[in-house]
Amino acid sequence: MELDAVNVTPHLGASTAEAQEKAGVAVAKSVRKALAGELVPDAVNVAGGAIHEDVRPGIPLAERLGRVVNSLANSSVTHFKVEVNGEIADKDVSVLKLSALKGLFKDVVSDQVSYVNAPLLAEERGIGVELVTDPYCESFRNVTRLTATTSEGQRISVSGTVTGPKLVQKLTEVNDFDLEIELTDNLLIFRYEDRPGIIGQLGQALGANDINIAGMQVSPSATDNDALSVLAVDSAVSEEVVKAVAGAVNASAFSGVSLSED
Q: For residue range 134-152, what is the model confidence (pLDDT) as tens digits?
A: 999 999 999 999 999 999 9
pLDDT for 262 equals 66
- Give the pTM: 0.85
3-state SS class at 145 = strand
pLDDT at 47 over 60: no
Helix (H) / strand (E) containing 22:
helix 17-35
If one compares 21 and 98, the residue with the highest pLDDT of the two is 98
pLDDT for 1 equals 58
Task: Evaluate whether 213 touches 206 at the Cβ level (below 8 Å).
Answer: yes
pLDDT for 85 equals 98
Share of the chain above pLDDT 70, in %: 86
Largest CA distance in the chain: 93
pLDDT at 46 over 60: no
Say which residues have a Cβ less than 8 Å from residue 106's Cβ, sequence separation at least 6. Answer: 63, 66, 67, 70, 113
pLDDT for 222 equals 80
